[in-house]
Amino acid sequence: MGRWEPNARGRLEEAALALYGERGYEQVTVAEIAARAGLTERTFFRHYSDKREVLFAGSSLLREVLVKAVAEAPDGAPPVDVVGAALAAAGAVLEERRELARARQAVIDANPSLQEREVVKLATLATAVTEALRDRGIPEPAASLAAQSGIAVFRVAFERWIRETGQRSLPDLVRESFDELRTLTAT
């Protein structure tokens, strides 16, 4: 057994989400989060660059999944389909963490500075997808347009998925929202 309990990051993220949910983001100090995780404030800042970032660590996983899915799409597939498949893959990742995602989103929705960070993270995802598309040889501005529209679709689907008590899976909702965009732009 190590000198320290394992999975410090996991404990920090769990503690932060719980405390932010209980008392609101601004009413929680980093020292409290760290204490709840059995760590010190200094260690928190070694893992996360700031107090918000602890809520957004998962977005790097999402980015990897998106980029990988774009890279591995069949040759010659149209950009729209490539992005659609990538978004469905990302949706599948979140599908298994629905309650977590819901709690996290509630915290973000209650605080403007967290929304600010969320917007940036989404923009980062769009940029990553754009670059992955360009690596497939898709030229601008098609790459940017497809990526940004795709992220917009994902937001819509994600919001429905969070809001509904329903049975539909996130990948299904992504496909559905995507079809709506297709319908719109086909007119």
Partner DNA sequence: TACCTCCATGTCAGTGACTGACATCGACGC
Partner DNA sequence: GCGTCGATGTCAGTCACTGACATGGAGGTA
Which CB, 81 or 140, lies closer to its own copies?
A: 140
For residue 5, give the 3-state DSSP assignment. Answer: coil
Give the up-direction half-sphere exposure of residue 40: CA atoms within 13 A in the CB hemisphere: 3
Contact 31, 39 (CB under 8 A): no
Report the nearest approach of its own copies to the CB of residue 116 (Å).
Answer: 5
Q: Which one of DNA, its own copies, none interacts with residue 43, CB within 5 to 8 A by kind?
A: DNA
Taking residues 19 to 58 in sequence order and writing x for each that binds DNA by CB under 7 A, - otherwise, the string is ---------xxxx--x---xxxxxx-xxx-xxxx------
Question: How far apart are alpha carbons 18 and 89 in whole angstroms?
Answer: 28
Instruction: Tell me how crowded residue 103 is: count the other CB atoms within 10 A of its CB.
Output: 15
Report the nearest approach of its own copies to the CB of residue 41 (Å).
Answer: 21
Element (H, E) at 65: helix 59-72
Report the nearest approach of DNA to the CB of residue 25 (Å).
Answer: 9
Which CB, 6 or 141, lies closer to DNA?
A: 6
Report the nearest approach of its own copies to the CB of residue 86 (Å).
Answer: 21
Q: Is 163 in the site for DNA (CB under 7 A)?
A: no
Question: How far apart are alpha carbons 161 and 98 in whole angstroms?
Answer: 9
Interface with its own copies (CB under 8 A): 116-117, 119-120, 123, 141, 184
